[in-house]
Amino acid sequence: MPPPLTTLLRQLPKPAYLCLGAILAMLATAAYVQHHMAREVADGHNRYGQALADMTAQQAVEATLSKDLVSLQVILSHVAQHSGVATATIHDVENRLLVQAGDSPGTAARRNFTATITLQDTVAGYVTVSTQINADPAGIWPPLSIAVALLLLFGGLAWQRNRRPSDLSLPVVTPARVVDEVVPLETEPPREYHSALLTLHSANLGELRQQLNGQALKQLLSQFEQQLNGVTALYNGELLHLDDRCLQLVFYSNNSRDESSFHAICAALLMLGLQGRSEQAVQLRLNAAVTAAQDSEETFYQRLTTGVQQRESLAYLARAPVDTLLVQQQLLEHSTLQQRLQFLPLEDNRQFQRVREIDEPYLSLLEKQRRQLLAL
């Protein structure tokens, strides 16, 4: 029968009592410090989110009053690139969505911060910045656990050293060998970027070169370049390749592949709309395809397959009807794109689907952006 607890406590030497007292004091101190740290982190998060919202509201005053959606989209795109920002939106006084940037809401915990866009006493709209709430850091608990373990070891060794012969009725406990635990330093993981490739194919550039004189062709291409720069500024894209048949642009996102793909699709619809609804008699006729961009971390076979599919899309665009927009089937698997767009399958090509239309409110946003770009 094991001895009662009171007997064990009476047989403990003074160093053991000191260890127990130190452990209790450390645990109480750690609980207080952890609570204080959590409150400081929450307060800092609130100040950071509200500061971003206030800053964005100040920058968006003139663009909101003039309804310059292009400038508003550029402002939100810069805000969405800040650390911890999930989404950023601007609504008018009637709570209608004007522009937004960032990923669509997911399952992660988020906190919203709102600021009013005002000029003197006039309210022009509202800015909402949504930030991700990170899990509470481990704080001081890992080093505290090591300290408690060392104190227990010290108390056990002191007890073994100071045991009296009358204590031999109790089982002898051999202290285990201690292995120093290496606590790795927490470093912020490298930021992951997602990308999608947009290919624009001109169906009539060769004919226009024969029909137009040098000055008219130069003016047409200069206007096209200006519109292209506006679209890439809106949707965080850059020119990757250009030749006499097509041009390729890559679109980036810090959040997900769905967002980069959606940016490329919106840019394609905007470019097709700018050319198809222009009032000029001479226009560029375009087709477009959105495919997965080659990733340096992919295997050799995956990169080769991606390259082959990109060439297949270019060959298909060369014979497709004008204003055709194709999206690679690979981008539609396990994605949210089908919740924002309507697609039509292709009977003669299973690697792609054709975009039929984009749902609201994105359709209205694209139309407003198209009118803004045509006015440039």
CATH of domain 1-183: 3.30.450.20
Q: Structure pTM?
A: 0.56
In 10 A of CB 240, how many CB atoms?
15
pLDDT of residue 357: 92
Ranges of each domain in the chain: 1-183, 194-374
pLDDT of residue 175: 46
- Whole-angstrom distance, CA of residue 22 vs CA of residue 234: 60
The whole-number mean pLDDT for each consecutive block of 10 residues of the chain, a chain of 376 residues, reads 54 60 74 77 85 90 86 88 88 88 69 88 89 65 65 62 49 46 49 83 86 87 90 90 85 88 94 76 86 64 57 75 89 88 87 91 91 84
pLDDT of residue 162: 57
pLDDT of residue 203: 81
Q: How much of the chain is helix, strand and coil, in % rounded to 5?
A: 50, 25, 30
pLDDT of residue 134: 67
Answer whether 1-183 and 194-374 agree in fold: no
pLDDT of residue 256: 86
Across 293-348, the runs of DSSP E, i.e. the strands, are: 325-328, 341-346
Q: Is 192 within 8 Å of 254 (Cβ atoms)? A: yes
pLDDT of residue 172: 47
pLDDT of residue 263: 94
Architecture category of domain 194-374 in CATH? 2-Layer Sandwich (3.30)
Contacts of the segment 25-33: beta carbons below 8 A, 24+ positions apart: 26/144, 26/147, 26/148, 26/151, 27/144, 27/148, 30/140, 30/141, 30/144, 33/139, 33/140
